[in-house]
Amino acid sequence: MNTQDHNLNMSRILTEYNIRPTTIRKNIAGLLFDGTDRHVSVDDVIEMAHAANVKTSVASVYNTLNRFALAGLLRRVSVDLGRMFFDTNLSEHHHFYYENEGRLEDIPHGLIKVSGLPKLPKGRAVKSINVMVWL
Amino acid sequence: MNTQDHNLNMSRILTEYNIRPTTIRKNIAGLLFDGTDRHVSVDDVIEMAHAANVKTSVASVYNTLNRFALAGLLRRVSVDLGRMFFDTNLSEHHHFYYENEGRLEDIPHGLIKVSGLPKLPKGRAVKSINVMVWL
DNA sequence: TATAATTTTAGAATAGTTCTAATATTCATA
DNA sequence: TATGAATATTAGAACTATTCTAAAATTATA
Ligand SMILES: [Mn+2]
Ligand SMILES: [Mn+2]
Ligand SMILES: [Zn+2]
Ligand SMILES: [Zn+2]
């Protein structure tokens, strides 16, 4: 897929998720959504943008990633104190956390099963279940 | 159990865990280890200390809780960005997280079962498995 | 094109946590 | 019990990830 097609593709995705396809949004989306599963921090994205000659600001990266997450285009994954990860893998899955490296890795969907969930307090519903395996 | 016995008890526990039983450590331990399962933030402990007329400092609460956690007398639980919880329940268990209230609740030991863990990369061992159920 | 709505941005502000280094406490030994 | 070395406590500074502010730029609409 050439650059122009890729750009159009990003536009389509953003529009689909009700996000205005502005220049920096398309650029950041272009860095993240290439079909691979990523777990990026804000700093990662800033570095990726720099490496790709995408001119933007720290505030815009925060704004963009938070907006993507709110729209359901990224998933927030918080492990330890300090920094948030944004996950491009939207399927239901869990994570290995390599503590020394500060790195997340997907555990493929369907492998891990959680059973034995107790009855919930009345009026409560499960929003999500997150399993983190520390290595 | 009277105050003096409780104090002696805290001394014993701290000594058992190779932590010098100093005054503020015994005081903070006394606030936390009363047999109930707690999930406290640093701010919680500062408030508890204040309410109990235990004079200390922010730095000391951080030092003390971190020391306790390192010694295995508390368990660190990080949920969302922002603040760390310290868990007095040392048994293997998982958590409900009440997102709106910012509150943790134990899921009793043995209820939840995690199965289907994939083979680990060579030379890696599981340090811990944490299940967080968001409500 | 003109106008309104939204986004981008630099830098300030915020907040949880750690660091610094001076003072105080604890503990082993005399 | 007194002495001194090791360790702990503390106020405030520093650090860092994130959010906020508000002015300038971009984008959508008429
Ligand atoms: Mn990274
Ligand atoms: Mn609380
Ligand atoms: Zn993932
Ligand atoms: Zn717990």
Q: Taking Cα atoms as reference points, which of A103, A123, A117 lies closest to residue A132? A: A103
pLDDT tens digits for range A62-111: 999 999 999 999 999 999 888 899 999 999 999 999 998 999 999 988 89
Q: CB within 8 A of B54, min separation 6: which ones?
A: B24, B27, B28, B31, B48
Categorize the per-residue pLDDT at B1 as very low, low, confident or very high, splitting at 50, 70 and 90. Answer: low
Distances (CA, A) of B49 to A46, B37, B42, B60: 42, 18, 11, 11
Q: CB within 8 A of B80, min separation 6: which ones?
A: A78, B97, B99, B102
Q: CB within 8 A of B71, min separation 6: which ones?
A: B17, B18, B19
Contact list in A for residue B124 (CB cut-off 8 A) is: 135
Residue ranges in A20-88 assigned as alpha helix (H): 23-32, 42-51, 58-71
Q: Do B114 and A131 touch (CB under 8 A)?
A: yes
Higher-confidence position of A106 and B110: A106
Spatial separation of the C-alpha atoms in residues A74 and A67, rounded to whole Å: 9
Percentage of residues in chain B having pLDDT higher than 90: 88
Q: Which nucleotides of D are covered by protein (CB under 7 A)?
A: 7-12, 16-21, 26-28
Interface-testing mutation among A122, A133, A134, with chain B (most B C-beta atoms within 10 A): A133
Q: Which residue is nearest to nucleotide C11 (CA to C1')?
A: A59
A16: closest CA of chain B, how far (Å) = 27
Q: What pLDDT sits at residue A55?
A: 97
Backbone angles phi, psi at A121, to 5 degrees: -55, 145
pLDDT tens digits for range B29-75: 999 999 999 999 999 999 999 999 999 999 999 999 999 999 999 99
Q: Taking Cα atoms as reference points, which of B128, B134, B56, B125 lies closest to residue B95? A: B134
Categorize the per-residue pLDDT at A5 as very low, low, confident or very high, splitting at 50, 70 and 90. Answer: confident
Helices B58-71 and B23-32: crossing angle, nearest 10°? 70
**Residue B26: strand, helix, or coil:** helix
Size of interface A-B (CB pairs under 8 A): 87
Q: Do B81 and A78 touch (CB under 8 A)?
A: yes
Strands A128-134 and B128-134: antiparallel
Categorize the per-residue pLDDT at A28 as very low, low, confident or very high, splitting at 50, 70 and 90. Answer: very high
Burial class of residue A37 in the structure, from the number of CB atoms within 10 Å of its CB (0-12 exposed, 13-18 middle, 19+ buried): middle
- The domain spans of chain A are 3-134
Q: What is the DSSP letter of B79?
A: -
- CATH 3.40.190.10 for domain B3-134, yes or no, is no
Q: Do B126 and A112 touch (CB under 8 A)?
A: no
Residues of A with CB under 8 A from a CB of B: 78-81, 84, 99, 107-108, 110-118, 120-121, 124-135
Residue A78 near residue B78 (C-beta atoms within 8 A): yes
- CA/C1' separation A48–D27 (Å): 25
CA triple B131-B124-A128, angle to 5 deg: 20
